[in-house]
Every structure is written in structure tokens, then in C-alpha cells.
């Protein structure tokens, strides 16, 4: 399979161990009509995470989020398809979706998976993953309480602060949250103009696409969406306040 060649050529490491390796192994085995035993992960000598590690961990958490409200929606699959097509060629993206379907049939220990992800990804990669998870949660235009609770729980277990999690959530709440721009910048609406400018500079640095360079150019390109949302939030506040 194309995706398996890409995944293993990309150097799977830490995802092959622990709870992620278990559920991925079952999903892959169902596709190749045979047993799949995840090899022991290589001893890691750095904090590096390959694109393959990132994507397989992402697929596991995506499956958990899709099942959170008890419904599997076409809109959610469409969002995921679009994302995968940014990362892989068409054939490989379709194979990744087949792995996702295998994951959806399993009971996923979300807590263990999120803890494993948190222990192996850096802060920027974790925020990029959470952004994608929220985009699937909002695929139908709103976020159910069960989805919101699960996403915030995942964020906490991964080691993402509540402020950062709420900031990412606010990026999808323009139509329902009048304070979305302030929430994105992690400030109160009572903040001074200088505080707004300072917050923007801080968030622009935090969400700059270069911070996920190690995950490959494709994921770096997808990370520009968060950066654009931060810029949009700042421009919205500037317009509201007639700031220079």
C-alpha cells in the first residue's frame, strides 16, 4: 500500500509503541488481511518527530473526535480528506482514509493516546494537531458539548494550556462568539491598545508556520491557517477600535 510505504519510509518511531501502536496495528492488519505486529520503536536520541509519526497519531485522535457525539458525518470526512490531500498524493490520501475507517471501528483509549502524544510532540506540533481536531469538530458548523469536552480534555492531557486551547477554539467561533478576536489573542476586551499589540506579536510568534518546520513543508503550509487567523483577529480588533 502506498501509505505504508510512505509511513515506513518516513521513519515511524515513537507511535509504534504504546496505545497508538496497538490501535494502528489493528487498523493496518484489517487492510492487508493479515497480522501486523508493530516493531519496537527505535531509541530516540532527540526530540524529533517525523511527519509519519505526526500523521498516524493525528488519525487516531481524529477517529476519537469523530465518534465523540455518536455521529459520523460526511462533512467531517470532507474536512479530513481536504487535509490529507494537502499532505499526500491522491492515492495515499485515500489509503489514509481507509486506515481512519479501521480506527473508527475500535474503542480508543483517548487518555492514554493523548498522554503519549503529549510526551513526544513539541508545543507547536501539539497546537497544530489540536487545530486540526477542532476543525473536524466544527465541520458541521457547530461544536457539540461532548466534542468540546473531549477536545479540551485531549488538549489538557497533551499538555496544552487552557488559554491556548480556547484560543484555537475561538478561531472557529467568529459567527457565534462576539469576543472571538480577543480570545484568539488570549486577552480581555478591556485590554489597552498597547496590550493588544503586544498580544498580537506574542501570538504571531507562537503560531508562525516555521515552528513546525520539522514536520515537513506540507504540514508547514497547513499551519499557515492558524497564523492567518491570528492576523485576522488583530485586524478585526484594530478596525473595531480605529487603531493605527
What does the block give as the cell for 140?
458541521
Residue 35's pLDDT is 47
- pTM here? 0.85
Residue 2's pLDDT is 53
Give the list of residues 6+ apart from residue 10 with CB closer than 8 angstroms, or none: 50, 51, 52
Q: What angle do CA 228, 234, 239 make, to 5 degrees?
A: 125
Residue 174's pLDDT is 87
Residues 219, 120: contact at Cβ < 8 Å?
no
Distance between CA atoms of 85 and 129, rounded to whole angstroms?
16
Instruction: Name the DSSP class of 159.
Output: T
* Below-50 pLDDT ranges, the chain: 10, 34-47
Amino acid at each position: 500500500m502506498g501509505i505504508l510505504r510512505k509511513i515506513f519510509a518516513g521513519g515511524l518511531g515513537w507511535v509504534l509503541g504504546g496505545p497508538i501502536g496497538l490501535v494502528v496495528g489493528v487498523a493496518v492488519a484489517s487492510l492487508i488481511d493479515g497480522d501486523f505486529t508493530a516493531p519496537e520503536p527505535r531509541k530516540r536520541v532527540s526530540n524529533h518527530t517525523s511527519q509519519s509519526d505526526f500523521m498516524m497519531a493525528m488519525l487516531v485522535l481524529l477517529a476519537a473526535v469523530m465518534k465523540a457525539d455518536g455521529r459520523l458525518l460526511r462533512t467531517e470526512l470532507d474536512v479530513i480528506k481536504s487535509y490529507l490531500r494537502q499532505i499526500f498524493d491522491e492515492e495515499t490520501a485515500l489509503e489514509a482514509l481507509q486506515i481512519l475507517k479501521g480506527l473508527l471501528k475500535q474503542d480508543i483509549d483517548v487518555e492514554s493516546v493523548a498522554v503519549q502524544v503529549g510526551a513526544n510532540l513539541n508545543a507547536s506540533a501539539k497546537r497544530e494537531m489540536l487545530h486540526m481536531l477542532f476543525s473536524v469538530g466544527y465541520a458541521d458548523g457547530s461544536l457539540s458539548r461532548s466534542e468540546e469536552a473531549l477536545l479540551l480534555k485531549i488538549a489538557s492531557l497533551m499538555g496544552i494550556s487552557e488559554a491556548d486551547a480556547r484560543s484555537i477554539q475561538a478561531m472557529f467561533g467568529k459567527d457565534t462568539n462576539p469576543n472571538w478576536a480577543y480570545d484568539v489573542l488570549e486577552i480581555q476586551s478591556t485590554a489597552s491598545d498597547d496590550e493588544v499589540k503586544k498580544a498580537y506579536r506574542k501570538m504571531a510568534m507562537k503560531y508562525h508556520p516555521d515552528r513546525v518546520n520539522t514536520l515537513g513543508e506540507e504540514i508547514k503550509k497547513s499551519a499557515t491557517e492558524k497564523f492567518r487567523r491570528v492576523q485576522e483577529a488583530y485586524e478585526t480588533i484594530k478596525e473595531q477600535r480605529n487603531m493605527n
